[in-house]
Amino acid sequence: MTRNQFKVTRRDALLTAAGAAAGVALGAPMASPALAAAPMLGALRPQVYRFTLGEFEVTTISDGAVQLDGPHPIFGNNRPAEEVQNYAAAHALPTTRHEISFAPTVVNTGSELILFDTGNGAARREAGAGHLRELLSAAGYQPGQFDVVVITHGHPDHIGGLIEDGEPAFANARYVVGETEHQAWKTGEGIPEGRRENQQMYNQVVVPLEEKMTFLQPEGEVVSGIRAVDAFGHSPGQLAFHVESGGERVLLWADVANHYILAVHKPEWHLSFDHDKEAAVTTRQRIFDMVATDKIPAIGYHMPFPAVGYLDTYDGGYRWVPASYQLHL
Which residues form the interface with Zn ion (CB under 5 A)?
Answer: 157, 255
Q: Toward Zn ion, which CB reaches closer, 56 or 159?
A: 159
Cβ 255 to Zn ion shortest distance, Å:
4
Given a contact cutoff of 8 angstroms between Cβ atoms, the answer to whether 175 and 209 are in contact is yes
Query: Which residue(s) pair with 114 in the sheet?
Result: 107, 148
Q: Toward Zn ion, which CB reaches closer, 109 or 132?
A: 132
Q: Toward Zn ion, which CB reaches closer, 254 or 323?
A: 254
Cβ 157 to Zn ion shortest distance, Å:
4
Q: Is the dihedral of CA 64, 75, 178, 59 positive or negative?
A: positive
Beta strands of 93-153 (E only): which ranges? 97-102, 105-108, 113-116, 148-151
Collapse the DSSP code of 42 into the 3-class scheme (helix H, G, I; strand E, B; otherwise coil) and give the result: coil
CA 117 vs. chain centroid, Å, equals 10
DSSP H/E element including 10: helix 10-21
Q: How far apart are CA 219 and CA 95, in angstroms?
A: 39
Q: Toward Zn ion, which CB reaches closer, 157 or 181?
A: 157
Residue 242: count other Cβ atoms within 10 Å of its Cβ.
Answer: 17
Cβ 175 to Zn ion shortest distance, Å:
18
Q: Toward Zn ion, which CB reaches closer, 157 or 274?
A: 157
Q: How far apart are CA 102 and CA 109, in angstroms?
A: 23
Q: Toward Zn ion, which CB reaches closer, 181 or 255?
A: 255
Cβ 303 to Zn ion shortest distance, Å:
11
Cβ 328 to Zn ion shortest distance, Å:
27
CA 108 vs. chain centroid, Å, equals 17
In the chain, DSSP finds a helix count (H) and a strand count (E) of 7, 18
Q: Toward Zn ion, which CB reaches closer, 56 or 269?
A: 269
Angle at alpha carbon of residue 74, lines to 72 and 76, rounded to 5°: 60
In a 13 Å sphere around the CA of 186, the CA atoms on its Cβ side amount to: 14
Cβ 66 to Zn ion shortest distance, Å:
11
Given a contact cutoff of 8 angstroms between Cβ atoms, the answer to whether 275 and 236 are in contact is yes
Cβ 234 to Zn ion shortest distance, Å:
8
